[in-house]
Chains A and B, each alone.
Chain A
């Protein structure tokens, strides 16, 4: 059971907008940043969004992040086939003094 809660799956057609949620608590997302990682099957995870809503250089602006209270969200607009991957949220947890991850959301592009 992951500390952060994500839906196990999400899907959309090319061009659509999809949103993935990440629910936490006051000790993690509520008091620290939410971050998102993308993992294409067979490869290492890659930083997608940091500090709630910042994109590293090279990440398309189709990807955006937000935070409200104890939840974070990842939005992908103009969905493309190469977006098919697993997406993980992560945050520092002050109570555990460590990092916690969501269980991951498998995104399928139909």
Chain B
């Protein structure tokens, strides 16, 4: 059974940093692209970042480019999101999401339960 479990969320002051982690299990982690998708309270979904199976291709939404860094560790079957210079508009539930295959442009097939990040204004 595919499982994606996020951790590392919390309350953080504007301008500070936070690192999200996602522990993956139930599948061969190295075979799949991984993504972060966020959802502000009461609002819609926004793709934040994605990384291909071998970290060869990485993409970011314009809203986080230059501030967020995605990475993956195959030895730990884990995905990370380093978030710097946080802003109130980054407040959201952050989902760890698996891509269907190794590349970024295939659909998302499994979602974690999310980690809440709150940046007060």
Bound-state Cα–Cα, A33 to B107, Å: 9
Q: Using a Cβ–Cβ cut-off of 8 Å, how many residues does chain B contribute to the interface with A?
A: 23
B118 within 8 A of A: no
A-B contact count (CB 8 A): 54
* Chain B residues with CB under 8 A of A102: 44
> Chain A contact residues: over half helix, strand or loop, or mixed?
strand
* Residues of chain A at the chain B interface (Cβ within 8 Å): 2, 32-33, 35, 37, 39, 44-47, 50-51, 56, 88, 90, 92, 96-104
> What are 29 sample pairs from A and B whose C-beta atoms fall under 8 A apart?
A32-B105, A35-B107, A35-B108, A39-B45, A44-B111, A44-B112, A44-B113, A45-B45, A45-B95, A45-B111, A46-B111, A47-B109, A47-B110, A50-B100, A50-B109, A56-B109, A88-B44, A88-B45, A90-B47, A90-B108, A92-B105, A98-B47, A98-B50, A98-B60, A98-B61, A99-B37, A101-B45, A101-B47, A104-B44
- Other than the given A50-B109, A103-B44, 16 more pairs (CB < 8 A) read A33-B107, A35-B107, A37-B45, A37-B108, A44-B113, A45-B95, A47-B107, A50-B107, A56-B109, A90-B47, A97-B59, A99-B35, A99-B37, A99-B50, A101-B47, A104-B44
